[in-house]
Amino acid sequence: MKLKIDDIRIDPTIQVRESLDRDLIAVYQETFEQLPPILVMKMNGKLTLADGWHRLSAARELGHTSIEASVVQGDRARAIAAAVVSNCRHGNPLTMRERREGIRRLSKLKWKQQEIARQMGVAQQTVSGVINASALERRFTISGKIDPKRRHSVLEAISTVKKPAQQEKLIEAAAKREWTSEQAQQAARNIGSEYVPDEHKADLLKGKSDPLVYTDEGEARVPAATLDRSIAHAKKNSARLAFLDILKLTNRFTPQQVVEQTKPRDLDRLDEECERLQAYFGRVSDEVKSLRKLRVVS
């Protein structure tokens, strides 16, 4: 049926898209006659747009005063659900932020996670991650601690940790050390891993260390961000701090663990590196002894 455009109300709190796409409106103007009807929800006697924001905008810009629409009786909850689900099935794909907001809205309407995933065409793991991250935001004071651009992905990673006390500490650590979402994921894995030493887990929760990275073969490696931090210390005339940071990393594993996690083909290289480090530490020790002698003489 045809509806007058001026009679259709647009409620921003129902629309899941954050803004209009000018390029899409232009495309819709060129193909306007082939477009399907917009969806309008009749609520309390008022006509409210549920789906078709871009089509409605294209009609206005073409100078139309009316538009073809499907009108159904409903309420606010039904309109919100229709806006989310419909925008997952046509038009431009939802952005990451819009998709997360859609998941949150359907969750508030008491939809089950399986149904949200099915209707939105996303993995159930994605749905649970968004819901769990939102729960963390409600439980703890997050605002101002983590950069908004990476906040949700960081919280999604931390939400996989089971104990709330550890979740809160990891949030503080992520803010303090400015973890990326990848680092937050590694930190969560470190906390749940039986192979990571308890000392390192404690330092993670205190925000004193970055997570260790595990390869597909189960080998533990120091993440590049941690090494970059140590190098940054050195560049700021804090070579001693960088040196101590590296020493802390060497204490995370016993010699037996280091050897067991080394592939047979890499044993010779490991032996060479050990000899190099032994010589380096020996030179550092000699420098310390020489400095002590100079201080005694002076």
Q: What is d(CA 86, CA 92) in angstroms, rounded to the nearest whole number?
A: 11
- Residue 1 in any domain: the answer is yes
Task: Specify the number of domains making up the chain.
Answer: 2
Q: Check residue 264 and report its DSSP letter.
A: G
**Domain final residue, candidates 121, 152, 184:** 121
Domain containing 20 equals: 1-121
pTM exceeding 0.75 = no
Q: What CATH number should be reported for the domain holding residue 57?
A: 3.90.1530.10
- Residue 171 in any domain: the answer is no
pLDDT at position 6 is 94
- Residue 51 in any domain: the answer is yes
pLDDT at position 223 is 61
- Residue 238 in any domain: the answer is no
CA R_g for the chain: 29
- Residue 261 in any domain: the answer is no
pLDDT at position 215 is 63
**Domain final residue, candidates 121, 144, 179:** 121
The DSSP code sequence of 5-55 is GGGEE--TTT---SS--HHHHHHHHHTGGGSPPEEEEEETTEEEEEE-HHH
- Residue 2 in any domain: the answer is yes
pLDDT at position 78 is 94
Residue with tokens 């950069």: 147
Mean pLDDT by 10 residues, the chain (298 residues): 94 89 93 94 92 94 95 93 91 88 94 95 91 84 71 89 91 89 90 85 89 68 61 60 68 77 83 85 82 62
pLDDT at position 298 is 47
| Continuous segment of H or E residues that includes residue 215 | none
- Residue 131 in any domain: the answer is no
Number of C-beta neighbours around residue 263 at 10 A: 10
**Domain final residue, candidates 121, 152, 171:** 121
Residue with tokens 């500490």: 169
Q: 168, 179 in Cβ contact below 8 A?
A: no
| Continuous segment of H or E residues that includes residue 165 | helix 164-177
- Residue 212 in any domain: the answer is no
